Structure 1
C-alpha cells in the first residue's frame, strides 16, 4: 500500500505544479489581451484619418504579435492539459488495479473471519494453549488480525475516494482543454482578419515609397541632430571642468550617487509615458515597407494616446531643451553618468538647469493630426556617448 500513498503524494505535487504553470500562462494571456485592447484604442484614433500610415502598420504589427502570444500561451496550456489527462488516466488505471486487489484481499479476510466468527472457537483456541505466554501471543494475534482487517477496509475507502476525485478531475481537465480549443479557433479567426488588415495597409503604403523615403531621410536628420546635441552637452561639461582647472568633466558626489541609483534600477525604471506600445525597437532593423532598406534607431518609438504626458524616468537635472527641425521639441535629462532623451514633444514644462524627480511631468507628446493622428514619443538612454537599449532599462 506504500505505492498507493506515494502515488497520491505525486499526484498532489503534480497538481500544484500544473496549477502554477497554468496560472503563469493565463497571466501572460491577460497581459497580451490588455496590450491588444490598448493597441486597438490607438488604432481607433489613427483610423479617424483615412490615410494609410506607418503608425497604423506598426500598431497592427504589434497587435498581431500580441495575438500570436495569446495563441502560444493557449497552445502551451493545451499541452499541459494533455499531459495532465495522460497522467491522470494512468493514475486512474493504477488506482483501479490497486482497488481491485485490495477488495480481493479484503474478501479473503472477511471469508476467514466468517468461518471463525464463533467466540467459543476463539476461546477454545486460547484455552488450548500450552502455556500462559502462548495464550497471550494468541490473544495479540486476534487483536492484530482484527486491526489489520479494519485498516484494510479504511484503505479501500481512501483509495476509492482518491479514485473518484481523479475521475472528476479528469473530466474537468477534458472540458477545460475543449474550451481552450474553442478559444483557439476564435483567436485564429481574429488573427486572420488582423493579418488581412496589415496586408492591405502594407499594399497601400507601398504606393507611397517616395514619401516614405523622404520621411526616413527626415528621421535620420533628427537622429543626427540629437546625437550632435548629446555630444555638445558632453563637450561643454568637459570644457567647463577644464576651465575650472579640472582634467575634464567629472561627476559631483551627488551626480555619482544618482548615477549609481539609476544603474541599480535597471529593468525597473518607469516608462516615460504612463502607457504606450513600442512600435519601433532599438538598433538596426528592416524597414517595414521599403525593401532592402535598413533603419537605425538609437532608442525606441512609443505609440501613445493623444495628449499623453511625458515624464522623467528618474531623478536628474535637465541638461538641454531644444527644438529639432521636423522633430518638434526634445529634452535631455542627466542622471549622473546617464542621459535620458525625450523627443517629439510639445508644451514642454521644464527648462535647462531644472531638477526633476522620477515620473515628474516634462511635457506632452506631439500628435500629428495630418498623418493618421499618430502620437509617438521617441525615447533614448545614453551612458555618456554610448547608446543603450531602453527596453533593457524600463520595467516590463
Structure 2
C-alpha cells in the first residue's frame, strides 16, 4: 500500500514537472510572438509617416504616430532588459553547475589515484588469493566482502568520472551559447535605445513646428475628450480580472481540500495582490506628489479654455513641469497595466491596498513592467512633452470611482 502511494506521488510529480516545462515553453513562444508583433507595428508606423507629404508630417496625427512608436519601443526595451536579466541568471546557474561538477571530477580523480596507489603498493589480488591468506572464516568473509565493494566502487567512480567529463563539456558549450545569446540581447537593446532617443528628438522637432498652431492644439484636446473614458475602462477591466482571479483561487483552495492528490496548477500571470502593502487610505491629505517642482495646470473636473473656447472634463489633474522629470510612485503598489491611449500617450496604472489605483500618463520613458512591485517613491518613468508643454496627467481611483487628487496630495 505504501509502495503504491509512493508510485502515485512520483507519477504526479513527473506529470506536474513535464506540464510546468511545457507551460514555460509556451510562455517563451508567446513572448517571442509578442515581440515580433511589436516590431511589425513599429515598421508599419514608420512606413505610414514616410508616406505622408511634407505638410502632413507637420501635424498632430504625426505627433501621435511618434508617441505610439515611443511607447512600443519602451515596451520592447523593457522586455529585452527582462530577457537580459533572465539570461544573466541562467549563466550564473550554469557557472555554479560547472563549478560543482569540476569539484566532483577533482574528488573522483583523487579517489581513483588512491586506488592506483593501492594496487601499485599491494598488487591486485584475485578473489581466490584471499583463501590462502586467511585462517578465520569470519575474516575470510569480511575480506571478500570488502574487496567486492572496493572493486564495485572503483568501477562506479570510473564510470561517473567519464560521465561527468561529458556533462562538463556539454555545460561549457551551453555556457558559451548563453553568453552569446546575452550579447545579442545587449546589442539589440542598445539598438532599440538608440532608436528611442532618435524618435524623442524627432518628436521634439515636430512639436516645435506645430506648437503655436491652434488647430493642432484643438486636435490634441479633442483626442483627450474622445478617449477620456479609456482609462476608466482599463480600471474596470482590471477590477473584473482581479475579481475572477480571486474566485479561481478560492475554488482551487476548496478543491484541494476535497482532493488529496490534486496537481498544483502553475500560474504564469503577473501577481497583482496588494495585501502586503501599507495602507493607501492613510495617505489622504499628506501624500507625496508624483513629481517634484510641478504646478497644477488643469484641475479635477471641468476645465474651460477661453482662447480655444473649449470645455473638457478631467478625471484627474494635469501637473506642468519645466523639463522631462522623473515620475515616482506615490505609495507602495504593483504595476497592473501599461498601455497607450490617444491624447494621453503612454499610461501606467498602479494598484494599491484597499482597491485603490493611481494613473500616470503622458510618459516619455517607462522604467517598469506589468507585475513589478513598487515601493514608495520608486521611479515609474519620465514626463513626456505635449503641445501644452511637459505635462503629467495623474489620477486616483477607489474601485470605479475617480477621486480629486488635490484632496489627497500634501499642500505645497
Pairwise TM-score range, normalised by the shorter structure = 0.3 to 0.5
Q: Which has the larger radius of gyration?
A: 1
Query: TM-score by structure 1 length?
Result: 0.47
